Amino acid sequence: MAEKPIIFAPETYQYDKDSLDESQLLEDPIDQFTKWFNEAKNDPREPLPEAITLATSSLPSGKVSTRILLFKELDHRGFTIYSNWKTSGKAKDIESNPNAAINFFWRDMQRQVRVEGFTEFVSHEMSQRYFNTRPRGSKIGAWSSEQSHPLKNRKELEDLVEANTKRFEGVPDDKIPCPDYWGGLRIVPLEIEFWQGRPSRLHDRFLYSRKSENDPWEVTRIAP
């Protein structure tokens, strides 16, 4: 006899707020994403539209890991996030496997966007430009945290923060340098899928795909 599940989530939620048709799609998926992202930003029901799930995989093991981050910049080359690329788990994954995926989910708009592609680091100048916009505390934090490394206790981290606070005492906010190990990672997309929830789980899904960054985009409706 099969064991009963500890948690069971019956299918009660219905996707019934919108639809997506070929005629609504823009030719360039970056333009289409920009349209949807701006709509999410302007929707008061979506408090954090820039939240993403980043998926990376380590080779040769193939172990996959995910985490929630905040998407920060977009250009026609790709989607950029900022983080520690020296000690973090995702840094180790990217070092062995430059491919990655990100996912946006806008619950109340019943939409998601999936992005798959390869990664590249942005220039230090671009990273410094973004670093300059961060609050002072976040800058001190970037200097203080060996992300994902074990800590003996909370005090060890607080001591590092205190030491770096003193280190940069009197330094204007815009003069605190960006650490060499901290900066931007761009996901250059080879696939971008736009998903619009529909009733009875018969969702509208459109996939923009290309074999390389120099190829034109092809658009395909795919089954839900």
* Ramachandran angles phi, psi of 98, nearest 5°: -75, 0
Separation between Cα atoms, residue 122 and residue 80, nearest integer Å: 8
- 186 Cα distance to chain centroid: 10
Separation between Cα atoms, residue 128 and residue 123, nearest integer Å: 9
201 is catalytic: yes
Which DSSP helix (H) or strand (E) runs through 67?
A: strand 64-70
Q: Which of 201, 205, 210, 221 is catalytic?
A: 201
List the beta bridge partners of residue 115: 102, 192
Separation between Cα atoms, residue 186 and residue 189, nearest integer Å: 9
**Residue 27 three-state SS:** coil
Catalytic residues: 201
